[in-house]
Chains A and B, each alone.
Chain A
Amino acid sequence: MTVKALRAIADGKCKKLDLHYCDWAGSSKGMNGFIKSLLPKFAAANPQIEFAVSPRPGKHPVIVGHYINGRTKPICVRNLSPYEILQKVELLRDASGEKLRRTNKAVLSTKPSVRGIWSPYHGKGMAV
Chain B
Amino acid sequence: MRRLQSLQLAVPSQCAAAPRPSFAAARAISTTSPARSKNTDWIRGKLWKGEAPGPADPYTQRMEPEAQTNLPEEALESSSSSRSRRDKTPAAVRESRLALPGRRTEVAAEKELQASDPTYVPAADAEGLEEIGPLSTWWEQPGHWGEESEFKGFGSAVKVVEKEVLEVYLRRAVVEALALQQKGVFAEWATKKWSEGGARGEMDQALAAQVEVQDGKATLKGDASAIAEALTSEAEEVESTPPVITVEEAREMTKSWDSSWKNVALDNPLRFALRKRLYQLTGVLIPDAKLAAANTAKHILTLAARDPKPLKLAQVLEKRNAFGDLANVKVHERRVGPIDKEVAVGRWKVIEEELKKRDLPVTGYGDAPRNKERDWLTGKI
Contact = CB atoms under 8 A, between A and B. Distances in A.
Interface stretch (A41-49, A90-98, A106-114): A41-49
B82 interface: no
A67 interface: no
B313 A56 contact: no
A36 B322 CA distance: 7
A35 B326 CA distance: 14
B380 interface: no
A21 B313 contact: yes
B332 A55 contact: yes
B130 to A, nearest CB: 58
Interface of B: 312-314, 316-317, 320, 322-323, 326-336
Nearest to A46: B328
B335 A44 contact: no
B335 A56 contact: yes
- Binding site secondary structure of chain A: mixed
Contact of B330 (A23, A36, A52): A52
Contacts of A44: 326
A10 interface: no
A53 B335 contact: no
A40 interface: yes
A35 B317 contact: yes
Given A40-B322, A43-B323, A56-B335, A50 B328 contact: yes
The 9 closest A-B pairs by CB, nearest first: A54-B332, A51-B329, A54-B336, A53-B331, A43-B329, A40-B322, A23-B312, A52-B330, A43-B326
Interface in A1-34: 21, 23, 32
Contacts of A23: 312-313
Contacts of A54: 331-332, 334-336
